[in-house]
Amino acid sequence: MEQGERPNQGTRQVMVGDVPLGGGAPVVVQSMLNAPAKDVEANLAQIAALAEAGCEVVRMAIPHRDCLDAFAAVCAASALPVVADIHFDAQIAIEAARRGAAKLRINPGNIGGLEATDAVIEAAREAGIPIRIGVNAGSLDAALAARDDLTLPEKLAASASDYVRHFEERGFRDIVVSAKAHDVQATIDTYRLLAARIPAVPLHIGVTEAGTAFQGIIKSACGLGVLLEQGIGDTLRISLTDDPVTEVRACWTLLGALDLRRRSPELISCPTCGRCQVNLIGLASEVEQRLANVKSPVKVAVMGCVVNGPGEAADADIGVACGAGTGVVFSHGKIVRKVRESEIVDALMEEIEQL
């Protein structure tokens, strides 16, 4: 599979600002701002950091109507398309569409019912922007949530599908759908249902409330990895109780691991064992930190001994196989030079700069 290529590219394409989403476009990386909604400068600073990390679309909460002026100012100066995240108040969505939002995100469970969305649809149509119908397990419509004849995935898929039908009956097709749960299997099952029921609608995938970085990345990799491998998902957010920049880096690492998209280096390093005669954990950690500033899909191997040396990492662009306080630097399986342990990281970075 070529980079950016995906199976089952049958969704129609919508534009979020200048970013194509769906219709065979590469999977789009998103995150969400967590600076105070009225602090324009803090939000713009966070957007700049996210853009530097590779974020392509950013979402901003608008909790109250008196935050709309700040939202407009952020949209006007943002380096990335800004999605307005709205709950409870359809009027905020209408105003956000008029004030520069690149997309609206509304929650069927609390926006006020299908009828309340009609004015939102017209505002989005007039602004020429898409709407994400974003269903969450924790905020389902009360009547749907109370049904005991449906599983949670069936409830989530039903809620999203009902709103898609309502939008399309009104001639509005610039739609993206998400239906998230914190449970990994429920998330997978929900998106499989959606991919079957509304195959033309682009899907925003994610495991919501996944937790802090360690647990959240593992849960997201499990759930989203399964979906992406099956061709389900046009854009993703890895939701973490952490710095949003960490979310973006995790997204790119996941996409790279699946050979869907690569933006940053891949570190190949072996587990430690009794044969290792260097501080491999420290070396690998330092290399990882230094690679954080490299913006190319280079493969770098840090191998603890000759057993897991150039042979197992022959496809690495640059690597090192360590011995007793030394390291043999290699490129594509061929030895380049031998250095002392204290010189290994600098040697690797020097070779990377020459690629």
Domain end position, chosen among 219, 240, 257? 257
Residues 134-181 have pLDDT tens digits of: 998 888 888 888 899 999 999 999 999 999 999 999 999 999 999 999
In which band, very low, low, confident or very high, does the pLDDT at 310 lie, cut at 50, 70 and 90?
low
Same-domain status, 134 and 20: yes
Q: What is the CATH number of the domain that holds 274?
A: 3.30.413.10
Same-domain status, 59 and 205: yes
Which residues lie below 8 Å from residue 159, measured CB to CB, with a gap of 6+?
108, 109, 135, 140, 141, 144, 179
C-alpha 134/C-alpha 333 separation (Å) is 48
Residues 220-261 have pLDDT tens digits of: 999 999 999 999 999 999 999 999 999 999 999 999 999 999
In which band, very low, low, confident or very high, does the pLDDT at 305 lie, cut at 50, 70 and 90?
confident
Same-domain status, 229 and 159: yes
Same-domain status, 252 and 272: no
Q: How many domains does the chain have?
A: 2
Residues 257-294 have pLDDT tens digits of: 999 999 989 999 988 888 888 899 999 999 999 998 88
C-alpha 104/C-alpha 175 separation (Å) is 10
Domain with 285 in it: 266-353
Residues 28-84 have pLDDT tens digits of: 999 999 999 999 999 999 999 999 999 999 999 999 999 999 999 999 999 999 999
C-alpha 299/C-alpha 194 separation (Å) is 36
Same-domain status, 122 and 140: yes
C-alpha 13/C-alpha 256 separation (Å) is 23
C-alpha 259/C-alpha 7 separation (Å) is 12
Same-domain status, 313 and 253: no
Q: What is the CATH number of the domain that holds 72?
A: 3.20.20.20
Amino acid at 199: P
Same-domain status, 171 and 291: no
Say what the pLDDT of residue 308 is.
63
Same-domain status, 213 and 85: yes
Say what the pLDDT of residue 1 is.
34
Residue 2 belongs to a domain? no
Q: Which of 157, 161, 206, 158 is nearest to 184 (CA)?
A: 206
Say what the pLDDT of residue 314 is.
78
